[in-house]
Amino acid sequence: MPLLQDRTAIISGASSGIGRAAALLFAREGANLVLVARGAEPLREVAREVESAGGKAICHAGDVSLPETHLTAVELALSTFGRLDIGFNNAGTVGPIQPLAEIALADWQDVLATNLTSAFLAAKAQIPPMIERGTGSLIFTGSFVGNSVGLPGMGAYAAAKAGLTGLVKAITADYAHLGIRANALLPGGTDTAMAGDEDQKAWAASLHPVRRIARPEEIANAALFLASDMASFVNGSCLWADGGNSATKIQAP
């Protein structure tokens, strides 16, 4: 039987990259999907891909830094599919690359709102219906940045992604006894639009012992593990999917 048969998952940042890869994978594994991202048309294109492969998906275009985006996604999951089992809270932004003292307050606030406050808002909306069912899996996409290493010019991003590791521990302390699992997924460099141009991707690859960055599908596979019953005793953890980046800081020649 598929790993997510008849379960319902909300996936944010679903229009591209890791989110798109997860949407296609979760659908193949039997999940019904609520797809969330800012861009309506790219989101609909992913939904069409899911449906053409026999899956079910509905879309909600919205800003994840706003509470109504998450409340609406949950309402759609319940009204359309009758349940909510998985929240893959994946949307994020790097923000301007600047030394910390040069970051404008508005940019700092925007990066934290999109990466960290959005995770709080997602959890706040998703946890209550999961409690009613007595089960649920929350997954938050973090990063190796801020958890195993700092990179120049990425102070706001690092602070936000580090905050997610504390958030999953707090959710575990509050809700594990009610059947809720919360985990952070910590990718290394991944071949998405956020990775930059080919020179930037090559530089990122040099930081990884495997001498390459990840394909989005590889990170989606790790998210599938956390979403499924294979991870039934995994709670409050940080799963590295970083090609060994956290294990060494030796830059490849």
Whether 252 shows a pLDDT value over 60: the answer reads: no
Choose the catalytic residue: 26, 120, 140, 157.
157
Question: How does residue 202 score in pLDDT terms, banded at 50, 70 and 90?
Answer: confident
The whole-model pTM stands at 0.94
| pLDDT per residue as tens digits for the range 154-170 | 999 999 999 999 999 99
Exposure string for 148-180, b = 16+ CB within 10 A, e = fewer: beeeebbbbbbbbbbbbbebbbebbeebeeeeb
| pLDDT per residue as tens digits for the range 143-156 | 999 998 888 999 99
* Domains of the chain listed by start with CATH number: 8-247 (3.40.50.720)
Whether 253 shows a pLDDT value over 60: the answer reads: no
Q: In the chain, where does DSSP find H-type helix?
A: 17-28, 40-52, 67-81, 105-112, 118-133, 155-175, 198-206, 216-227
Give the mean pLDDT of 70-81: 98
Mean pLDDT of the chain: 94
Residue 156 in tokens: 């706001």
The pLDDT of residue 40 is 95
| pLDDT per residue as tens digits for the range 7-48 | 999 999 999 999 999 999 999 999 999 999 999 999 999 999
Contact 22, 227 (CB under 8 A): no
Instruction: Give the C-alpha separation, 13 to 41, whole Å.
Output: 13
Within 8 A by CB and 6+ apart from 123, the residues are 87, 89, 138, 167, 171, 182
Amino acid identity of residue 214, one-letter, is A
Residue 11's CB is within 10 A of a number of other CB atoms, namely 33
Whether 249 shows a pLDDT value over 90: the answer reads: no
Residue 153 in tokens: 């010019």
Give the mean pLDDT of 108-127: 98
Q: Which residue has the higher pLDDT, 209 or 52?
A: 52
157 is catalytic: yes
Looking at the chain, the number of H-run helices and the number of E-run strands are 8, 7
Residue 196's CB is within 10 A of a number of other CB atoms, namely 15
Rg over CA atoms, the chain: 17
Whether 227 shows a pLDDT value over 80: the answer reads: yes
* 98: phi then psi, degrees, rounded to nearest 5: -150, 150
Q: Calculate what percentage of the chain has a pLDDT beyond 90.
A: 83
